[in-house]
Amino acid sequence: MAEQTNREELASRYLLGGLSENEAMTLEEQILSDDEVFENLEIAEDELIDRYVRDDLSAEERRRVREMIFNSPRLAERVEIGRILTTRVPSQPAEAVRAEKKTPWWQLFLPTPQMAPAMRLVAVAPLALLLLTSVLLVLVWTRHSADAQRWARAEQQLSQLQKEIADQNAKSSGLETALTQTQQEKAEQEKLLADLQRQLAEQRGRTPSIFSFFINPGVGTRGSGDAAASLRIPPGKDELELQLNVDGGDYRQYEATLQDADLKPILKHPRLKPIRRGSRNFIPFKVAARLLRQGSYYIHVDGLTDQQVRENFNDYPFRVTK
């Protein structure tokens, strides 16, 4: 502060011709080489002009300034402007001047050039705070938005998964139903199979195939019954196969008719082919067991020629006993 005052005083004394030759030369070297010193002299010149136009100088100082002005049109012009400055400016209230131009609202947040660096920091603090808050808000909003989107996506995925699960459940339920149905069907089929097997077994047990009985042709007359073969039908047999001996015949087909004791036809097989088994040649005559009751029966056999002409061949009497 004191140094500055000394510089100001030195500059003022220099302008008023108050320095020694050496002091002046030293200062002039600085004026030519040092920007700060030169500007300090210019400021001293401002203040000297102000004092001049305000008539604030001694007679000797005033004479000195007049000499300078006399030799310098620039200084003369500065004095004119200085006069206006001193007369014109005080008539304009500074606050009014300041209020003339409306400051845009956003400039309220900005530091003015007149402010000291520290004050600029203070002035810029609300703007910085506002910016920081805005940035934070944007960040929070962005994050919230991202979270919301993620939530929405997750909910959508969850919903989709639930739907898929429901579908799967439905399918599973359907499958279960189908499985149950299939199992039921399977059980039923198994039951049916078991029944069939049981029935088959029962049938097998009940009809151990066919009951065969070999009968030779009768040697006696019909109805005598002496030479008739006697047979006993085992219980549970549904069918009898009477194997009629046709060793003496050479027909390719036979016609056999079952007759009761009164020669009343019961069953007729029109075309029976003879079967050779070992040394025997016979024709199988199948008859339901239920058709045969206790009593005497005859099977009349005719041989069929190639021209399908019936020729009497043999009778096969037999007796059924219970």
Which residues contact another protein by CB under 8 A?
4, 14-15, 17, 21, 25, 28-29, 31-33, 38-39, 41-43, 45-46, 50, 54, 56, 63-64, 66-81, 84-86, 88-90, 92, 94, 97-98, 100-101, 103, 112-116, 118-119
Shortest Å distance, C-beta 141 to another protein: 36
65 or 299: whose CB is closer to another protein? Answer: 65
Measured between alpha carbons, how far is 50 from 15 in angstroms, rounded to an integer? 14
Q: What is the dihedral of CA 203, 208, 210, 212, to 10 degrees?
A: -160
Question: 297 pairs with which residues across the strands?
Answer: 318
Pairing of strands 280-288, 239-245: antiparallel
Shortest Å distance, C-beta 21 to another protein: 7
DSSP 283-307: EEEEEEGGG--SEEEEEEEEEE-TT
67 or 247: whose CB is closer to another protein? Answer: 67
92 or 305: whose CB is closer to another protein? Answer: 92
64 or 300: whose CB is closer to another protein? Answer: 64
69 or 272: whose CB is closer to another protein? Answer: 69
Beta carbons of 211 and 239 less than 8 angstroms apart: yes
Shortest Å distance, C-beta 59 to another protein: 11
Give, in degrees to the nearest 5, the angle at Cα 35 between 31 and 39: 80
Token digits for 122?
């203070």
Shortest Å distance, C-beta 45 to another protein: 8
72 or 134: whose CB is closer to another protein? Answer: 72
Shortest Å distance, C-beta 91 to another protein: 10
Measured between alpha carbons, how far is 66 from 79 in angstroms, rounded to an integer? 10
Shortest Å distance, C-beta 11 to another protein: 10
Give, in degrees to the nearest 5, the angle at Cα 176 between 171 and 179: 120
Residue 185, classed as helix, strand or coil, is helix
